[in-house]
């Protein structure tokens, strides 16, 4: 037996949201500015799926990781 249509639609939506978050995460890390003086990666854009604004520190060399990036949901 196959799955119910509502379950398939729900799975497709979940997968689409997961892919959007994955693409935005990659874009956020790719577009970030690496400040050599302070040794930290700074967000240059606004990323609403991760609740990260412009100018927030994403991570630094001393071990800080932004809570939005600490766990991959």
18: its two tokens:
């997961």
- Give the strand pairing for 33-35 and 57-60: unpaired
Q: How confident is the model over 13-18, as a mean pLDDT?
A: 94
Domain that holds residue 43: 5-70
The pLDDT-based confidence of 40 (bands split at 50, 70, 90) is very high
Say whether 51 sits in a helix, a strand or coil: coil
Number of domains within the chain: 1
- Say how far apart CA 54 and CA 43 lie, in whole Å: 5
Q: pLDDT tens across 44-57, in order?
A: 999 999 999 999 99
């Amino acid at each position: 037996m196959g799955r119910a249509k509502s379950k398939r639609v729900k799975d497709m939506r979940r997968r689409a949201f997961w892919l959007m978050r994955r693409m935005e995460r990659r874009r956020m890390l790719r577009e970030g500015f690496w400040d050599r003086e302070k040794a930290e990666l700074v967000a240059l854009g606004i990323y609403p799926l991760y609740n990260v604004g412009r100018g927030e520190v994403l991570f630094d060399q001393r071990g800080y990781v932004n809570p939005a990036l600490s766990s991959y949901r």
